[in-house]
Amino acid sequence: MHPYMAAPHAEADMPDETETELPPRRRRLLFRAWHRGTKEADLMIGGFVKRHIATFTERELDELEAVLELPDVDLADWLSGRRAIPAHVTTPMLERMALECATPGAGVPPEAKA
């Protein structure tokens, strides 16, 4: 029988103090943004949401919820610039995300940039 071994970087999955102080809706959206299904989407979408979640208006939160309902594969392609965002799903929030994700190094964790 093997003893239980904790993940080497468990603290990376733990919310920081500012995240635990967020209202429930914002915490839920932040969680959904970080748990998309692919690491690439987690970093792009989760990073964007983490940077802005505290300042989003209620309308922006509504738009963010709609974006998070879109398929992960499509979001990753649109945000990385591999494919253009189709007109029928374009929203100010999705355009803002795509613009920020298009910058060099977007989605790369700060500790990996060193």
Band of pLDDT at residue 9, cut at 50, 70 and 90: very low
Domain with 78 in it: what CATH number?
A: 1.10.150.250
d(CA 68, CA 29): 8
What is the pLDDT averaged over residues 30-50?
A: 91
Stronger pLDDT, 28 or 13, i.e. the higher one? 28
Report the predicted TM-score, pTM, of the whole model to 2 decimal places: 0.76
Angle at 37 between CA 34 and CA 43, to 5 degrees: 40
86 in any annotated domain: yes
In a domain, 89, yes or no: yes
Q: Is 1 a domain residue?
A: no
Residues spanned by the domain of 83: 23-103
Per the rule left: phi > 0, alpha: psi between -120 and 50, beta: everything else, 107 is left
On whether residue 80 sits in a domain, the answer given is: yes
109, part of any domain: no
Q: Domains in the chain: how many in total?
A: 1
More confident residue, 13 or 81: 81
> What does the pLDDT read at residue 92?
96
What is the token pair recorded at 112? Answer: 């990996």
